[in-house]
Structure 1
Amino acid sequence: MSATNEYRGSCLCGAVSLTIMADNQEVGACHCNMCRIWGGGPLLALESVKEVRIDGEDEITVFRSSDWAERGFCRQCGTHLFYRLRDSKHYAVPVGLVDGGEPWSLTAQIFIDEKPTFYDFANQTRNMTGQEVFEAFTGQA
């Protein structure tokens, strides 16, 4: 059983700050088309987030990017703050938002079937296709 770690971060302008409780220092990469459009490349995010406390919530704009998820960003500076599932408390928080030099480990890649061919990560990771991700979250294809 791992200890829960607390990480703090804020947007570029400081209008929004987050305190994140996470079970480990594992980072996942999402290669889906929406994440790549949203950030210009794969989303590198903490996936073991247990709790997110937000200060400056009035400065957050939330965009419903699909029937099941939404993305939050600072309305002042545009910093990407989170991806979250609408019907649960699952948050994916960009690791760069809270990176204080922790020894992060890239352990998983999702939507590997949508990853462009022009880049590859050297790390050995658990890889899942988009269908496998949906099956894992919904229990069905």
Structure 2
Amino acid sequence: MSEQIRGHCLCGAVTVTSTMDKPALRACHCDMCRQQNSGAFMSISNDPQDVTVTGEIKVYRSSEWAERAFCPICGSTLWYSTVHDGARHLSAGLFENAGGAPLKLEFFADKCPEGYRFEGAHKRLSTDETIAMFGAQAGDDA
């Protein structure tokens, strides 16, 4: 059953609405996510074709395959977007209680700093596994 989720940035200037079919949190420990967020980037599963955004946003092209969006007023991370398909992986922090979703997947798990670890029996992909997955989705070999 689909559930509509609605959230906003820290200052409230940007509002994001989408639907969530299977609630799930994903954590990314890549160098860029950790540098941008001072820790793992937590995204919430959503229907990528059903995202409505109100308010001004800024987008930064962070790699060949990805863009990152943020609020130009408060700096809140809004999403990580894959360029090849335009899918927006929404920041879990936009939504109250992260949409109530459980942690299901970690990307770049071998890059997780020694200072923290996420507990639980969820899937953990290494750097090589993550790159292979995104490379395959983007039509890349790398």
Give TM-score scaled by structure 2 length.
0.88
Q: For 1:49-104, what per-residue CA distance to the aligned partner results, in whole angstroms no more than 9, with x for missing partners? A: 33211111xx2110111111010001111111010011113221111201257432
In angstroms, what is the RMSD of aligned CA positions?
1.6
> Is there any run of 5+ residues in structure 2 with no aligned partner, and where?
none
Q: Identical aligned pairs, as a percentage?
A: 34
Distance 2:100 2:12 in 1: 25
* Runs of 4+ more than 4 Å apart: none
Instruction: Give the number of equivalent residue pairs.
Output: 137
Q: Is the 8 A contact 2:46 2:90 kept in 1?
A: no
Q: 1:66 to 1:102 in 2, by over 3 A?
A: closer
Q: Structure 1 length as normaliser, TM-score? A: 0.88
Q: Whose strand proportion is higher, 1 or 2?
A: 1
**Consecutive unaligned residues in structure 1, runs of 5 or more:** none
SS at match of 2:69: strand
Q: Identify if the C-alpha distance between structure 1 residues 72 and 13 changes in structure 2 by more than 3 Å, giving closer, same or farther.
A: same
Q: Structure 1 CA distance, aligned partners of 2:109 and 2:73?
A: 33
Look up the match of 1:52.
51
How do 1:1-141 residues align onto structure 2 when only pairs under 5 Å count? 3-50=1-48, 51-56=50-55, 59-100=56-97, 102-139=99-136, 140-141=141-142
Structure 1, residues 80-135: CA drift from partner, whole Å, max 9, x if none?
10100111132211112012574321111110121111211111110101221222
